[in-house]
Structure 1
Amino acid sequence: MHIQSIQQINKPKQEFKQERKITGYRGFAAGLLLTLMLAIAAKYLAMLPFLNMMGQLVLAILLGVILRAVAGVPERTATGIQFSAKKLLRAGIILLGLRLNLHDIIQAGPKVLAIAVIHIVVTLVAVYMLIRAMKIDRKLGILTACGTAICGAAAVAAVAPQIKANDNEIAVSAATVAVLGTIFTLAYVAAYPLLGLSEAGYGIFAGATLHEVAHVIAASAPVGQQAADLAVIVKLTRVALLAPVALGLGLWENRRLRSQSAAADNTESSNSGISNTQRNFPVPWFIGGFLLMSGVNTVGILPERLTADLLVLAYVLLAMAMAGLGLGIDLKTFGRLGRKPFAAGLAGSLLLSLLGYVLIHVMGLK
């Protein structure tokens, strides 16, 4: 009798735990489905005039921000949304490596590579100096600098885990770079007749200085096919430098954190027998995957159709991640954080454009 009564007491508890587990799974699935729906909506919106300059990734962030502001986000969906923002982000970055064909970059010549390297280095340094001068949050500024210098929202997403940036910093930086890129794209198209550049020269200029791949295509396509082809090749040369920049920033952030807590780390390491370098060395596995996929595309292992489909999947995963970030952003926080990074990004973008124009003339590529 006693045993039977205990079983009767435990039965509701077990049922409650089981019910909570099922509810958790449903909430996870709902969060995942919500980010997928926003990603698909962003993909189709990105096909519309003007919005195509913003691109699917940024539109996914904006849709997430708007949905949260207008309707709110159910708490039970948090786990699925976070999974998209964190895990799917890395998967998307890995597949994004399939965009790169290293043969095309090599064939473009050393001048194109030199322009890409100079632009990235100068922009990163200049924007970081502005960050310090304007007393902007360091991580927010670094993400804005990388998005401006390399490849917009994708660069922000790839660098963020390396410097341990939070969701607010990622979303604000990605949106800032997207708005700046859209403004400069419109300005480039309007200014083309006044620049005195050939079609090829303008393509190199656009690819070397604009932010997102979408911006590069939008700015170069109206000029001609040669401009568009060269612009994309130069842009992808900058994208190829994403991996070493992200790795370098990860090492730098790791070294900075070690130096801040050197005394505590030394004590702990001596007790555990593990060196600081072994314990704190960043492992950017997704960057390694990005490079691996680039090698796969260069060698031509995969059929072209499959590669194209995987790239579509890459952008869906990245858009889901961006939507997840947007769903975690409060508009008040966005407004508070975004002003100074926008000013620093604007200054960096102007410098990038001016430097690109000068280098094209100096290197005889006009």
Structure 2
Amino acid sequence: MSLENQNMQANPQETDDKGDPPSKQRWKWIAGVSFTFFIALLGLLLALIPGFAYVGQLACAIIIAIIYRQIFGYPESLRAGVTFSSKKLLRLAIILYGLRLNINIVLSDGLGLLLRDAFVILFAIFLMIWLAKVFKANSTISLLLGVGTGVCGAAAIAAVAPIIKAKDEDTAIGVGIIALMGTVFSIVYTIVRPILPISAVDYGTWSGISLHELAHVALAAAPAGQDALAIALLAKLGRVFLLIPLCFILIYIMKSKSKNSKQASTQIAFPWFLIGFIVLSILGTYVFGHSIPVSDGVFNSIYTLTTWLLTAAMVGLGLSVSFSDLRTKAMKPLIAMTITSAVLSVFAYLIV
């Protein structure tokens, strides 16, 4: 055995698989995280261009990340930092997202909406699963899209993905599709609003219980006035609230499948970040701004940070997507989700 190999065995923590010392690995990690934030910045700049504003920073960043991957390949030297963004920063973003959920408002003013929200979520998930079987679409992406359509878009997909052990590329594809379809449908809503025989408040309710992202709900409901926007956001908050029990239901289902499976590797780890989401929801509802004074400026800064963290995380996921994945995995789920979104809009309109 050579002296070099003896030293490597004596100090296993000083090198990684590629033989880089810890200091070099640290700089690669920093460079990888910085790279995801740089593409997130490019996504923001792209979203400022007329037309792309409807798509949003998150979707624009994913598009840039996917294009980068196809042209330059995956940045292997930055993998540690990119993976950190797609895993750890994603969980942190979901935890901070809990501050957006005001539990008190949902429970005191939106119980009727909450019931309709529950019907919408179940309708979207089961219809998506059924259509996925009909079209023989990728089951994981289809489930993610069903959850994203029924609950709250990219945030719901990001929360559920680790529970169902979705691959990074499947998660990124799901987020990309949900952003695209949500944008299309929110624009369609604003176009058809003047010809619909419903009040502004009912239109806001319809938007809140059927559109995908919080931003999509705001985009569609704002033209109908402040009352419509307020009820739309309340309805949307109810769907975000229901993400909590939905995650626990999925954990139970996955653990049951794990017990029935002969493969021990299918055991499901508990998503502790979900506890953080719940804790911050409670603190944001009953503590911050009440027992502990917190200004709107602080909340807005946290919301901005959450958006940046989520965007950087989605960049990390987008770098995992290849065009071959899109061709083989995305088309059938996209068709199924288009049908699901359209049918869901009609269903939601009927129950308003």
Q: Deviations over 1:132-152 (max 9, x none)?
A: 222222211110101111111
Q: Deviations over 1:89-126 (max 9, x none)?
A: 11110000000111221243322111111101111111
2:254–2:268 Cα contact (<8 Å) kept? no
CA shift, 1:208, in A, is: 0.8
Aligned ranges for residues 296-307 of structure 1 at < 5 Å?
Answer: 296-301=283-288, 303-304=294-295, 305-307=297-299
From 265, 286, 306, the counterpart of 2:273? 286
1:336 corresponds in structure 2 to 328
1:129 equivalenced with 2:135 (yes/no): no
Amino acid at match of 2:85: S
1:251–1:281 Cα contact (<8 Å) kept? no
2:81 corresponds in structure 1 to 80
1:69 corresponds in structure 2 to 70
Q: 1:49 to 1:258 in 2, by over 3 A?
A: farther
Moved more, 79-88 or 174-183: 174-183
Question: Whole-Å Cα distance in 2 between the matches of residues 241 and 190 of structure 1?
Answer: 29
CA shift, 1:254, in A, is: 1.9
Question: Whole-Å Cα distance in 2 between the matches of residues 282 and 73 of structure 1?
Answer: 28
From 348, 352, 363, the counterpart of 2:344? 352
- Percent identical residues: 33
Q: 1:236 to 1:109 in 2, by over 3 A?
A: closer
Amino acid at match of 1:174: V
CA shift, 1:281, in A, is: 6.0
1:167 corresponds in structure 2 to 168
Unaligned runs of 5+ in 1: 1-5, 269-278, 361-366
Amino acid at match of 2:300: A
Question: Whole-Å Cα distance in 2 between the matches of residues 10 and 192 of structure 1?
Answer: 71
Amino acid at match of 2:170: E
Aligned ranges for residues 98-177 of structure 1 at < 5 Å?
Answer: 98-177=99-178
Q: CA RMSD in A?
A: 2.4
CA shift, 1:50, in A, is: 3.5
Q: 1:19 to 1:286 in 2, by over 3 A?
A: closer
From 313, 317, 328, the counterpart of 2:309? 317
TM-score by length of 2: 0.89
Question: Whole-Å Cα distance in 1 between the matches of residues 111 and 169 of structure 2?
Answer: 38
Q: 1:10 to 1:161 in 2, by over 3 A?
A: closer
Amino acid at match of 2:339: A
1:274 corresponds in structure 2 to none
2:124–2:344 Cα contact (<8 Å) kept? yes
1:207–1:231 Cα contact (<8 Å) kept? yes
Answer with 1 or 2: which has the greater Rg. 1
Question: Whole-Å Cα distance in 2 between the matches of residues 68 and 347 of structure 1?
Answer: 30
Unaligned runs of 5+ in 2: none
Amino acid at match of 1:288: I
Moved more, 20-29 or 38-47: 38-47
**Number of equivalenced pairs:** 338
Amino acid at match of 2:345: S
Amino acid at match of 1:336: T
Q: Deviations over 1:296-343 (max 9, x none)?
A: 110142513322222221111111110000111112212221011011
